Amino acid sequence: MTIIFDLDGTLLNTIDDLGYACNVALEQTGYPTHRIADYPRMVGNGINNLIRRAMPESERTEENILRVRAHFVPYYNEHNCDYTRPYEGIPELLATLKAQGHQLAVASNKYQAATEKIVEHFFPGIFDVITISFPLSTIN
């Protein structure tokens, strides 16, 4: 049997690293930052949507979002495992499922390079497939 897991908020608590990366990108592009505690209400459906929600409403153009993203991605690539941690019991659960012969997969709406890096950092050799998915709400 193949079992597919979501990554952020399911296997890993990634909110702090996402928040710090977003704040760095916002600051570098001249936008106000947020408390890390405010980021849980901003995440969901990918990085562009996180950035969109974190920006001032009057500035939420596609061009501005991409400009902030250009700062977000390099910072996040370097710092996406600083504060991220597996939820309690997840490593043991995955090891048990793997030992029982299940194929394990991760489907994340995080970009592929970050997904692969984070999964291999926290769960080396556990997952058979690592892929990105796009929620229907983000496909035009």
Provide the token pair at 62: 């596609």
Residue 8 is given by DSSP the state B
Residue 100, amino acid = Q
Q: What pLDDT is attached to residue 42?
A: 96
Q: Does 6 participate in catalysis according to the annotation?
A: yes
Domains for the chain: give ranges and CATH numbers.
Answer: 2-12+85-138 (3.40.50.1000), 14-79 (1.10.150)
Whole-angstrom Cα distance, residue 13 to residue 17? 9
d(CA 70, CA 45): 18
Sequential pLDDT tens for the chain (140 residues): 999 999 999 999 999 999 999 999 999 999 999 999 999 999 988 899 999 999 999 999 999 999 999 999 999 999 999 999 999 999 999 999 999 999 999 988 888 889 999 999 999 999 998 887 655 444 33
Catalytic pick from 6, 38, 82, 128? 6
- How many CB atoms are located within 10 Å of the residue 89 CB? 9
